[in-house]
Structure formats: structure tokens, C-alpha cells
Amino acid sequence: MALTREPDRTVGVIGAGLIGRSWAVVFARAGWTVRLFDPDASQLARARASIEAWARELTAASLVPTPHAVTERIVPTETVPEAVSDAALVQECGPEDEEAKRAMFAELDRLSDARAVLASSTSSIVASRFTAELAGRSRCLVAHPVNPPHLVPVVELCPAPWTDAATIDRAEAIYREVGQVPVRVRKEYEGFVLNRLQGALLSEAFRLVAEGVISPLDLDATVCHGLGLRWSLLGPFATIALNAPGGTADYCARYGGFYRRLAADPPPPEVWQGEPLARVLAACGPVPDAAERERWERARDRWLIALKALKKSMPAPDGEER
């Protein structure tokens, strides 16, 4: 049965893949009505199974009161018009394809309420490449999440040059209201910020493994039991400020020589192809089968839930909740 919608608390989620179904949980657990659309009916069925499982896990961790509090608010829809009707925000989660996004945003701009924010979950494509010709282009932006967004709260807000400032303000307010951590990317950069940072780390990781400096297993341990532990609580700027008595300037004076040499010798693009990539793939070993991958995904989600619950219980140094 469809819920009675509250004004400005309905979201249309377009695409029910891993990101779309996770976004649905984000909004539903915050009390929003979610209209979930996918052109593939079987995808909607798989989404429902995932959402029910996630809702049970969140309930077990005391992050939501009951599974029903999440699942009752998510309504599958058969058409795009039904999904976007009365939505305050539309979260597009379609394929990572510029032409597909251009076609979808043209449809969303035509069908949605003129006051609705239109946000894309794209991982790398800047909004100007698929919204330039829209009559309502001023209400469009990228809202790039991290997989899975219901457990990893950061969302990068990246406007096109013509996105209205009020749209960015409204989007930030909505994502903050539903429990995410919105960050503003002030100008268009391919890959935004998170994937550019991730890309820098991955390229160096590929080089180190390809050159036989370290195994993939030990490199992963270096991150998840080293850098990752600090970075889950403090970002890189806060980290280096605490790693030298005189703060960031002192850190740069102490270690800047090494980092300048490192920056002068970056990993080449070739680490992602050819013989270097072949060495990395050989070192990584066999590709996990579907069952093993599912086990790892479930474990990852349990760890993230536990970390999320812990961080929620810990006051930050300034007394605010993390």
C-alpha cells in the first residue's frame, strides 16, 4: 500500500542496482517516502531482497528501530513519472554512460516537479556533460556517494557551472537531514575528489605490487591496519597536523623532501595495462566466485555497520557527534 507522502519528504530513486537500493535505505530510514524505479522488474525484486536483509542488519546494530521502519517506506514503481511525482529530490543511479545519463536527465527534467533537485550518482562524469541542453539545468548536480551509501555516509556535491547556488544549498540540507555527510566540490573535476584520491593511492599500489615491492595481501594490510585506521577517524590534513609537534608546516619541513621526490616520480599510466597489470593480476590470484564474493560483501557490510555504530557513539574532540 502506498504511503501518504509528507511535503518535501519524498525521493525518487531511478535505478535499483547496488547504489540505487542503498540510497533507498538511506532515505527510508530517515523517514522519507522512497519511489524506486528500474526498467528491469527482476532488478526490483533483487533490490527488495537486499533492502530487507540490510534493514535486518541495521536493526540488529540498533541503527534503526525495526526492519519494517525501513521497508515500509520504499515503494517500487513501474514508470518514471510515478517515481518522480511530487519528489523533492530525484537520485539518478543509472549506468555510468554519458549518453544514457543525457537521455535520462532530459526525461527527469521534463517529468519532475520544477522545484525538485535532480542529482546524479555518477562516479566520474561531470554534470555539464549531460545537463547542458536542459531547460532546468540550474537544478542539476552530481551527488556522488560511496558504495554502499547506507553505510558510508560521505556524498560529494559537484555542481555544473550553471547549477543554481540555491540548488546546492537545498541538496546539502537534504543529504545532511537523511544522515549523510555532504561535502562540496567547488568546481568540476573528472572523478571529483574521492575517486581522484583513491586513484592516486591505487596507482601507487599497482606500481608497488607490479615491481615486486610487496604482495597484494600485505599492501591491503598496510592500508586497513595502518592508514585506514587513522583515516576512518581523521582525514589526511588532520593526520599530518598531529604527526609533527609544530603541525602541518612542521610536518612539511620534516618530510617535504621525500614527498617532493615522490611527486616527481609518479606511477605511470602503464601500471593499469599490459605487463604491469598482468603482474598485479597474477599476484592477486584467482577471481573469487559469486558465492565467495557474496561472503566478502556480507562481511564488509557487518564491519562497516560495527564501525558506523562505534563512530556514532564517540564524541569528536570538540564535543560534536562524528
Domains and CATH numbers, the chain: 10-184 (3.40.50.720), 195-285 (1.10.1040.10)
Helix axes 194-210, 274-284, angle to 10 degrees: 80
pLDDT at position 3? 47
Contact 152, 304 (CB under 8 A): yes
Check: pTM over 0.85? Answer yes or no: yes
Quote the pLDDT of residue 313: 84
pLDDT for the residue numbered 1: 33
Alpha carbon distance 114, 164 (integer Å): 13
CA distances from 292 to 48, 113, 243, 287 (A): 22, 44, 39, 9
What local confidence, expressed as pLDDT, does residue 2 receive?
42
pLDDT in tens, the chain (322 residues): 344 455 479 999 999 999 999 999 999 999 999 999 999 999 999 999 999 999 999 999 889 999 999 999 999 999 999 999 999 999 999 999 999 999 999 999 999 999 999 999 999 999 999 999 999 999 999 999 999 999 999 999 999 999 999 999 999 999 999 999 999 999 999 999 999 999 999 999 999 999 999 999 999 999 999 999 999 989 999 999 999 999 999 999 999 999 999 999 999 999 999 999 999 999 999 999 999 999 999 999 999 999 988 888 887 776 554 4
Q: What are all long-range contacts of 303-306, with beta carbons under 8 Å and residues at least 24 apart?
A: 304/148, 304/151, 304/152, 305/57, 305/58, 305/61, 305/63, 305/151, 306/61
With cell 566520474, the residue in question is 124
Contact in structure between 37 and 16 (CB atoms under 8 Å): yes
Q: What is the pLDDT of residue 318?
A: 65
| Res 119: pLDDT | 98
